[in-house]
Amino acid sequence: MPNKFYVDLHCHPSLKPLGKSFNSNSTKGKNSNNHKNNNSLYHKKKPHVVSKLFNIVTTMTKFTQTDLQTLADGNVHVIGASLYTMEKGFVINKLKTGIVCDALSNLAMGIGKKRIDNVQEHQDYFSDLELEYNFYKQLDNQLVDVKGKKVKYKLAKSYQELAGLKEEQNDFTTIYIVLSIEGMHALNTGLNGENSQCDEEEVLRNLDTIKNWEHPIFFVTLAHHFWNELCGQAPSLSGIVGWATDQEHGLDSSITPLGYKVIDKLLDDSTNRRMLIDMKHMNNKSRKAYYQYLSKYYALENIPLIVSHGALNGLKSHENPVNEISIGKQFLAEEINFYDDEIIRIVESGGIFCFQLDERRLIDDPKNIKKGWTKHQMKFNQSLLLWKQIQHFVEVLNARGHSDIWDNMAIGSDFDGVVNPLNGFWTGQDYASLLEYLTAHASSYLKSAQCPLMDQNKIDASEAIDKIFRWNALRFMEVNFSVREEALLV
The one-character DSSP state at 470 is I
Strand partners, 355: 310, 411
Separation CA 317–CA 472 (nearest Å): 26
Q: What is the residue type of 112?
A: G
Q: 3-state class of 477 per DSSP?
A: helix
* Whole-number CA gyration radius for the chain: 21
Residue 95 falls within a domain, yes or no?
Answer: yes
Strand partners, 312: 338
The one-character DSSP state at 202 is H
Please report, for residues 88, 125, 326, 351, 437, the alpha-carbon distance to residue 113 in angstroms, rounded to integers and kept in the order given. Answer: 14, 18, 46, 39, 39
Q: How many domains does the chain have?
A: 1
Residue 57 falls within a domain, yes or no?
Answer: yes
Report the share of the chain in percent with pLDDT over 90: 81
Residue 422 falls within a domain, yes or no?
Answer: no
Q: What is the pLDDT of residue 3?
A: 60
Residue 173 falls within a domain, yes or no?
Answer: yes
Backbone angles phi, psi at 79, to 5 degrees: -135, 155
**Range 438-442 contact pairs with CB under 8 angstroms and sequence separation of 24 or more:** 438/383, 438/386, 438/387, 438/390, 438/465, 438/468, 439/465, 441/383, 441/384, 441/387, 442/387, 442/390
DSSP assignment of 259-310, as one string?
HHHHHHHHH--TTS---EEE-TTB-HHHHHHHHHHHHHHSTTS-PPPEEEEE
Per-residue pLDDT of the chain (490 residues; tens, 9 = 90+): 446 899 999 999 999 999 999 999 999 999 999 999 999 999 999 988 888 888 887 777 889 999 999 999 999 999 999 999 999 998 886 655 544 455 555 555 678 889 999 999 999 999 999 999 999 999 999 999 999 999 999 999 999 999 767 666 777 899 999 999 999 999 999 999 889 999 999 999 999 999 999 999 999 999 999 999 999 999 998 877 788 888 999 999 999 999 999 999 999 999 999 999 999 999 999 999 999 999 999 999 999 999 999 999 999 999 999 999 999 999 999 999 999 999 999 999 999 999 999 999 999 988 889 888 899 999 999 999 999 999 999 999 999 999 999 999 999 999 998 789 999 999 999 999 999 999 999 999 999 999 999 999 999 999 999 999 999 999 999 999 987 654 443 3
Separation CA 414–CA 405 (nearest Å): 24
Q: Which residues contact 245 (CB under 8 A, 6 or more apart)?
A: 89, 90, 93, 94, 225, 226, 237
Q: What is the pLDDT of residue 486?
A: 46
Residue 245 falls within a domain, yes or no?
Answer: no
61: left (phi over 0), alpha (psi -120 to 50) or beta: beta
Q: What is the pLDDT of residue 1?
A: 43
Residue 224 falls within a domain, yes or no?
Answer: no
Q: Which residues contact 427 (CB under 8 A, 6 or more apart)?
A: 47, 63, 64, 65, 66, 70, 74, 415, 421
- Domain of residue 157, residue span: 1-179
Residue 201 falls within a domain, yes or no?
Answer: no
Q: What is the pLDDT of residue 104?
A: 52
CA 258 to chain centre: 25
CB 191 within 8 A of CB 88: yes
Residue 67 falls within a domain, yes or no?
Answer: yes
Separation CA 79–CA 67 (nearest Å): 11
Q: 3-state class of 409 per DSSP?
A: strand
CB 193 within 8 A of CB 227: yes
Separation CA 358–CA 362 (nearest Å): 7
CB 7 within 8 A of CB 78: yes
